[in-house]
Amino acid sequence: MWPKQYNKRVRNSFVVLALALTTLFSQPAFSQADQVPTDAETIAKGETLFKQNCKVCHNVHTRLIGPALQNVYDRRTLPWIYAFVQNSSKLIASGDEQAVQVFNENNQVQMTAFDFLSEEEILSIMAYIKDQTDNPPVEEAAAAADSGATGTAQPEGLPTSYLNAIIIGALILLVLLLIVLFMIVRTLSRYLRQREDIPEADKELVETKNPLAILRSKAFIGIVAAVITAFVVKQVIDGLYNIGIQQGYAPKQPIAYSHKIHAGDYKIDCNYCHTGVTKSKNANIPSPNICMNCHSSITKGTNTGTAEIEKIYAAIENNEPIEWVRVHNLPDLAYFNHAQHVAVGKIECQTCHGPIEEMEVVRQYANLTMGWCINCHRDTELNTKGNGYYDKLVKLHEQESDKPFTVEANGGLECAKCHY
């Protein structure tokens, strides 16, 4: 038996031990949230890196090809995360238990090595993941469902082709009515002229020249001919101006690739496949090995089953390129640099390519004419914040004008900008 004076101390000790164990096991295995930066600049940098390198396989809150990444900094140590991201294959080969476990849990699909990412950059990605974990985005689907439930859906507009058909039909009907009216007036006039019991006042009205006779006059015929000639000339000029313009062009591709599924439903960032868009003149069409980063484990398509994906395997096995059909073509006399617009100008892909994430088959969205480019340069305001190159230019511009500092103000309409 314990002495009475120790009963209270022993009981209190057990309470403290129980609280300690409860706290220990209720905490994550590697609580490192306080080591992850929370400043806006680092989060923004991490978001860019995440979208460029991680988004194709990972979501923050839900599983995609790889596991969801929320709270990953509390489930693995930061040094382990750095090593796994930079070279997961090396870590797995070393026999690391956690790496082998992740490898087996994900159908033994190895993660791409990102050895070009520094630890600081990976930490910025952790900052973005932490921000998304702590502040989950509001689901747009719920808002859409609510609007549908309340009956606020807007009706779709009338297609242009239908509107044109209605206008043409109305014009034809109007012409037919004029012809019928002319025939009725002519028949009644003949009938009334044959009657002898018509009062003199009414007879003068009947004998009055038919107002529709003007349709047979040389002046009217000349006016109609001039209008038709002007219309034909206008159509010819429009046709000449449209030579080389392929707006709406949507060729059939060798593989039925859907941007709606990849960029829309799965939200794969454009930069992941078009690797040159931020660092090269050309955006680059992805090679089959980029497709295989995902399709080594995804063997069935949402719409096409295995038929289209097997074409990728065939191209790799036969060591042959996929002969994609180019959609957007600029004349050789025009120079356009993707990196200049995307990396420096921060222009979104949709600005020129339209709602690409909604397209089952890619089509040319804009007309890509010289006038279209010039109008964009006139209207687009330059983002000069944080770029010392523009400081003096902005000051000089503000001294002479109260308008925004646009591409045009920076010399964006000079011929040599696009025509070397």
CB 158 within 8 A of CB 113: no
Higher-confidence position of 171 and 369: 369
190, 290: one domain: no
Could you tell me which of 210, 215, 209 has the C-alpha nearest to residue 185?
210
Find the range with the poorest average confidence among 62-76, 249-263, 276-290, 320-334: 62-76
Alpha helices in 199-287 (DSSP H): 200-207, 218-241, 259, 270-273
Q: Is residue 334 part of a domain?
A: yes
Asked if the model's pLDDT at residue 156 lies above 50, the reply is no
Q: pLDDT over 90 for what percent of the chain?
A: 21
Find the range with the poorest average confidence among 128-137, 211-220, 263-272: 211-220
Residue 4 DSSP SS3: helix
pTM above 0.85?
Answer: no
Q: Is residue 308 part of a domain?
A: yes
Beta-carbon count within 10 A of 273 CB: 22
Q: Is residue 152 part of a domain?
A: no
224, 199: one domain: no
Asked if the model's pLDDT at residue 387 lies above 90, the reply is no
Q: Is residue 108 part of a domain?
A: yes
Q: Is residue 19 part of a domain?
A: no
177, 89: one domain: no
86, 110: one domain: yes
233, 306: one domain: no
Asked if the model's pLDDT at residue 201 lies above 60, the reply is yes
Q: How many domains does the chain have?
A: 5
280, 233: one domain: no
List, for residues 393-418, the tens digit of each pLDDT value: 999 999 988 889 999 998 889 999 89
Q: What is the mean pLDDT of residues 227-253?
A: 85
Find the range with the poorest average confidence among 156-160, 211-215, 403-407: 156-160
DSSP designation for 377: H
Asked if the model's pLDDT at residue 60 lies above 60, the reply is yes
List, for residues 336-379, the tens digit of each pLDDT value: 999 999 988 889 999 999 999 999 999 999 999 999 999 999 99
Asked if the model's pLDDT at residue 383 lies above 90, the reply is no
352, 406: one domain: no
Find the range with the poorest average confidence among 33-47, 126-140, 213-227, 263-277: 213-227
Higher-confidence position of 198 and 97: 97
Length of the chain: 420
Please state the separation of Cα 21 from the chain's center in Å. 51
Q: Is residue 302 part of a domain?
A: yes
195, 219: one domain: no
Write the single-letter amino acid at 14: F
Asked if the model's pLDDT at residue 7 lies above 60, the reply is no
| Distance separating the N- and C-terminal Cα atoms of the chain | 100
Q: pLDDT over 70 for what percent of the chain?
A: 81
Q: Is residue 20 part of a domain?
A: no
41, 121: one domain: yes
Q: Is residue 11 part of a domain?
A: no
Could you tell me which of 96, 92, 50, 98 has the C-alpha nearest to residue 75?
98
101, 129: one domain: yes
272, 348: one domain: yes
CA distance 283 to 285: 7
364, 414: one domain: no
- Using CA atoms, how far residue 207 sits from 183, 186, 196, 210, 211, in Å, is 17, 12, 13, 8, 11
Domain containing 186: what range? Answer: 168-208
Asked if the model's pLDDT at residue 154 lies above 50, the reply is no
